[in-house]
Structure 1
Amino acid sequence: MTALDRRDFGIALAAMTVVVLSSNILVQYPFEAWGLQDYFTWGAFTYPFAFLVTELANRRFGPKGARRVVYVGFVLAVVLSVVLATPRIAIASGTAFLTAQLLDISIFSRLRDRAWWLPPFASSTISAAVDTMLFFSIAFYCGALPGTDHTISGILSAFGIPDECVALPWVTLAIADYGVKLTLSVISIIPYGAMLRFMRPLTIQRRTA
């Protein structure tokens, strides 16, 4: 990488870390305006931008470089979230983030040569559904796991991780959260398209998956 490539990679990494960390904190606070506290958290409005960062990194650096952004951002965000959020939120976020972002990269790469708007829209739409399902079920499900007598809190406690489940209406939150992600996926196509005009490919671009 040239100095310019390293600079851009650092910007992508910083953006990913800020988006995920702020979302992990804000997801603990219901959005109470207009009586919507049972449907949204503040994190619903910040986390979808993680997909925009991943897709721009994929376009700029290729899938290999985008995975580096995801892996390093994952480690930094989870470590900071353990301190600034809760261990359970950090685990839920880390599991959902890594699974969904790698899926996003894979789908985007397969569609890279199609119409410019299709890769970011299709990849974020599908991966956001996976992300939402994993995050909210792990973070806020307080009952026994299906077919067992064990709860997530009990399992964490067995590994020495203290946990007190926050009993939020996670199903309705998840549905509403996904709706926000879909909306922002459409809206983010505009800045994505605008930023493509100023992006150049990696100096030595490897597009291998």
Structure 2
Amino acid sequence: MTRPWILGLTGGIGSGKSAVAQLFIEQGVHLVDADHAARWVVEPGRPALEKIVEHFGPEILQADGQLDRTALRARVFSDADERRWLEALLHPLIGQEIMQYLAKAQSPYAILVSPLLIESGQRALTQRILVVDAPEHLQIQRTMLRDQTTAEQVQAILKAQAIREERLRHADDVLLNDRDLDWLRSEVERLHTFYLTLRGGQP
């Protein structure tokens, strides 16, 4: 059996990446979520968590020994050096975790979903990139509804993520998610049919 090629799926916050990912799963495509891999590598008992506690101190943990993500985010969002230290520790580990899960794929192609596909260098793991795009006002609206946050908080996250133009520059395919779910489903089916014709992610 030929090894499946890897499609990178990315998009800004509130663009509808998760909805698109779910629709691909319904088509039988093997999918790995980089956010899940990022959570697995800092589980209690894993070496990464020990290093994070050594570096930031025990106050970075919750009472049950799990990583306090909110506390960690506050520390690294306001300090670029700390963020770089954390990325240098986690990115290789997350990459290994992703590769292990992608290796289990039985479908003709597999998907790596990552909000930071471009920024983190994870795009090197993929042969093709699909960007889910949405107008900024829709991104803000969706995220506020989903996360119960303010427009200002969403805009801060939008700024921290790859600039939209940069993401689109790397895209092989763009899915503009500005309509309803039925339309989105038909677009995913269309893309899936096309992807099944590809070898190694290229026509």
TM range (shorter): under 0.3
TM-score (norm 1): 0.27
Higher strand share: 2
TM-score (norm 2): 0.28
Q: Which has the higher contact order (CA 8 A, sep 6+)?
A: 2
Higher helix share: 1
